[in-house]
Structure 1
Amino acid sequence: MPAFVLLIAALALAFLLSRLLRLLAQFRRIQRIPVSTVALLPGSGQAAVTGNASGAQLSSPFAAIPCVFWSIEVQEYRSNGRSGSWRTVLARTSDAPLVLDDGTGRVQIEPAGAALFLQDRFAAQQGMFGGLNQSTLDALERLGVRTRTWLSTSRRLRIRERQIRHGERVFALGEIARAGAQAALASTPDAPLLLSNRDAPALARDLTMRMLGLLALPLLLLLAALLIGVFG
């Protein structure tokens, strides 16, 4: 087998292993830290809460939906000879803090550096089999993303937008901090805040499925290599 093929395979396996370990660490945090009421939050350490979200009234960049938090990602398809891949050209989130109220108290959520597990609320694509409406094109331009190439052809783009809306039920797990007199949950360098609009059991199931998917991929590649070796 050529050396460059082995190198690519090794890099791919290293990426999969890194991703798998990250998901495993997040899964273990959810399993290890039970959901607490805000009134019973400890003074320090990691904590998990579930409550209804509130905060600054924002408008999401693409769908223009009222919300208290948003996250967007824009990717461009870049071809390389016979193949290609999607590359992220813009990833941005709102930075205003949220507040979760579980009926026993309120805790502030600092979204900077958070690992997000939110459902897509808006998705669109330009090129091949789809186009973007004018309001989406205008939003891209305002965000600094060019929608056409230097040859004036449309760039092949896809967009994802996720939001947390006022009153939505939200799960958060992070490091206890203080925002004035109010308790807050935030990220640390070693453990990002986990933020989801699913409860803890549903998020744990989602992480499990993601890990199983990552484990299945190298096994399928190995099986394909064995079949090629036998029948090739």
Structure 2
Amino acid sequence: MNVGLVLVLLSALPIGVYLLVTGGRDLRAAHTIRQHDPVPVWSLQRHTGPVDVEGTACVDERTVTAPLTGKTCLAYEYEVEEYRSNNDNGSWETLDSGMGGVDFFIEDDSGRVRVDPDGSDMHLETHTITVDPGEELPDSLARYVATTDEVDAQDGTINLLITELKTGNRQRFTERRLDVGSEVYAFGQASRDTSGDREWGSSQVDTILHAGNATPVFVISDTDESGTVRRLLLAGLPRVVGGLVAVFVAVVFVAGTLFL
């Protein structure tokens, strides 16, 4: 049997397991969220344990700047990829990625509650820009590339007298943000907020949402509960199906090798 084919089949097992684990996590989160209904913020006063709320994302004390667009937000995730080709094959390779965020408030008609996003599984709207070789980068991306060692501009050209040949690789810039004033949903653990910065008469409840052992998932998204469940299912189902197929192929190959 071709050695390359053997390596591909053997690699299918760990890939399949990875897809099953990550996809299963999303499906588990969707199931957990479906078992609860969002509650008014005021009802979280002195509340502890798993809870979900939805409302508007508001600034607590600080904001952060998303690295690709330079936009002010409350939390972000980003990834920069480059298309690398080898003969007839090619794939997107990640050059740089990261995430960041600060405490923020979820506010509804009844009050506001602080959220600590550290350790959350964020499901935010995706913004993607794909840049072809030789194409000029938007100003915000040009500034990012200029200050990042992991990513180089792909704007080279070769002068052929009658025309110019553009060189380099395609790049894909992906960013997800929780913007100030956007719709927001969170499922997490509610605990007593001990920061002591709550003003008398404020609509802020003395509770904070965060990651914790009392809840199996901590999810933040910029949509409502039903939209969050939909995103989790769309992310998890293809991974689980792909994982099952990969594991099945690997097991059949190993069994055939051992017993035939």
Give the TM bin, normalised by the shorter chain. 0.7 to 0.9
Q: Secondary structure at the match of 2:101?
A: coil
1:189-210 per-position Cα deviation (integer Å, ceiling 9, x unaligned): 7845211111111221232233
Contact 1:74 1:88 in 2 (8 A): yes
- Of the three residues 194, 198, 204, the one matched with 2:223 is 198
TM-superposed deviation, 1:148: 4.2
Q: 1 CA distance for matches of 2:146 and 2:63? A: 23
Match of 1:227 in 2: none
Check whether the contact 1:33–1:46 (CA below 8 A) recurs between aligned residues.
no
Number of the residue aligned with 1:53 = 57
Give how far 1:4 is off: 2.7
- The corresponding residue for 1:77 is 83
Which of 216, 225, 232 is the equivalent residue of 1:207?
Answer: 232
**Superposed displacement of residue 184, structure 1:** 1.2
**Contact 1:125–1:132 (CA under 8 A) maintained in structure 2:** no
User: Aligned equivalents of 1:54 and 1:143: distance in 2?
Assistant: 30
Provide the residue aligned with 1:180 in structure 2: 195
What residue in structure 1 maps to residue 164 of structure 2?
none
Q: Which residue among 178, 187, 209 is the counterpart of 1:164?
A: 178
Change beyond 3 A, Cα 1:172–1:100: same
Whether the 8 Å CA contact 1:124–1:132 is kept in 2: the answer is no
Contact 1:186 1:192 (C-alpha < 8 Å) held by counterparts: no
Residues 134 and 168 of structure 2 are in contact (CA less than 8 Å); yes or no, is this contact kept in structure 1? no
Counterpart code for 1:170: V
Asked whether the equivalents of residues 105 and 115 of structure 2 are also in contact (C-alpha less than 8 Å), the reply is yes
Which of 147, 153, 175 pairs up with 2:152?
147
User: Which ranges of structure 2 fall in alignment gaps of 5 or more residues?
Assistant: 158-166, 197-205, 250-260
Aligned to 1:33, the other structure's residue is in SS state coil
Q: Which residue of 2 aligns with 1:29?
A: 32
Post-superposition offset of 1:175: 1.3
Mapped pair 1:87 → 2:90:
no
- Gap runs ≥5 in structure 1: 224-232
**Per-residue CA distance 1:39-76 (angstroms, 9 max, x = gap):** 11263211111011111344433333343333322223
Counterpart of 2:207 in structure 1: which amino acid? A
Query: Under a length normalisation based on structure 2, what TM-score does the superposition of the two structures give?
Result: 0.71
Residue 4 and residue 117 in structure 1: after superposition, are their counterparts in 2 closer, same or farther (change >3 A)? same
Q: 1:217–1:33: structure 2 CA closer, same or farther, 3 Å change rule?
A: same
Cα distance, 1:89 vs structure 2: 2.8
SS at match of 2:144: helix
Q: Secondary structure at the match of 1:94?
A: strand
The SS at the match of 1:43 is coil
| C-alpha RMSD of matched pairs (Å) | 3.1
Distance 2:123 2:172 in 1: 19
Identity %: 24
Q: TM-score, normalised by structure 1?
A: 0.78
Contact 1:47 1:174 in 2 (8 A): yes
C-alpha distance 154-60 of structure 1, shift in aligned 2 (>3 A):
same
Determine which structure has greater relative contact order: mean sequence separation of CA pairs < 8 Å that are 6+ residues apart, divided by chain length.
Answer: 2
Alpha carbons 1:70, 1:164 under 8 Å: kept: yes
Contact 1:62 1:139 (8 Å CA) reproduced: yes
What amino acid is aligned across from residue 16 of structure 2 in structure 1?
Answer: L
Moved more, 26-35 or 81-90: 81-90
The one of 64, 71, 74 aligned to 1:65: 71
Q: What is the match of residue 136 of structure 1? A: 141
